[in-house]
Amino acid sequence: MSSPQEDADREAIAALTLRLRSGGIRDNRVLSAIERVPRRLFLSAALQKHAHTDTALPIECGQTISQPTVVAWMTAALEIAPEHKVLEVGTGSGYQAAVLGHLSREVHSIERYRTLADLARERLSTLKISSVTVHHGDGLEGLPEKAPFDRIIVTAAGPEIPPALLAQLADGGKLIMPVGPKGGVQVLTLAEKKGATIVTRALQEVRFVPLVEGVASRL
């Protein structure tokens, strides 16, 4: 038996997924991963009524949960297979990590705010998503002990792709990140490692909170 809240969530997510599909997201694996994650559970009580609208929303520690359309674009661009080892930099609420967790058997997500990392861990455990491990640390350094990664997704913006992340990308691997100056135009950039070369492609303009060096000293 499902509760009236669960039924309402399911209906709202189905409507959101339809919207993503008509907005041009055609990857069924990505759409069904999104369909399996109740975004409401990743938001504070006051914002839950907006959970299934297609907008970015504020979360704890002054950060934001990405717009579902952007989550879908970024996830689809990575073409994740179940056997790919995935790294996310910028766990935030844990929503994107949950979507990734339905596509890959091994996902690592790093967050510089301990509060956010703890909350995300709790939410993922409530949803029984055991493929995701949340780490508290500085994502600019990547996660050398788990490298190389087949796919890397950075959900905060920086002026360039951090060199440590490129170093931890497997040969043939793909990385996606919003690249641009603080406060300026950021371009979603897809990088692919082919032997010693990195081929990059600019996708579309986006707006993300900045990547910040080091773990947060408070919160």
Residues at the site binding ligand SAH, with contacts judged by CB under 6 A: 63-66, 89-90, 92-93, 95-96, 110-113, 116, 138-140, 155-156, 209, 211-213
Specify the residue, 90 or 173, whose C-beta has the smaller distance to ligand SAH.
90
In the complex, the smallest distance separating the C-beta of residue 139 from ligand SAH, rounded to whole angstroms, is 3
Specify the residue, 108 or 112, whose C-beta has the smaller distance to ligand SAH.
112
In the complex, the smallest distance separating the C-beta of residue 23 from ligand SAH, rounded to whole angstroms, is 18
Specify the residue, 107 or 191, whose C-beta has the smaller distance to ligand SAH.
107
Strand partners, 58: 64
In the complex, the smallest distance separating the C-beta of residue 111 from ligand SAH, rounded to whole angstroms, is 5
Question: 219, exposed or middle or buried, with CB in 10 Å at 0-12, 13-18, 19+?
Answer: exposed
In the complex, the smallest distance separating the C-beta of residue 158 from ligand SAH, rounded to whole angstroms, is 8
What CA–CA distance (Å, rounded) separates 55 from 117?
22
In the complex, the smallest distance separating the C-beta of residue 170 from ligand SAH, rounded to whole angstroms, is 21
Direct distance between the N- and C-terminal alpha carbons of the chain, in angstroms, rounded to an integer = 38
Residue pair 69/20 in contact (Cβ under 8 Å)? The answer is: yes
- Bond from prior residue into 148 cis (ω within 30 degrees of 0): yes
- Active-site positions read 66
Specify the residue, 43 or 191, whose C-beta has the smaller distance to ligand SAH.
43
Q: Which pair of tokens denotes residue 19?
A: 């919207």
Specify the residue, 78 or 156, whose C-beta has the smaller distance to ligand SAH.
156
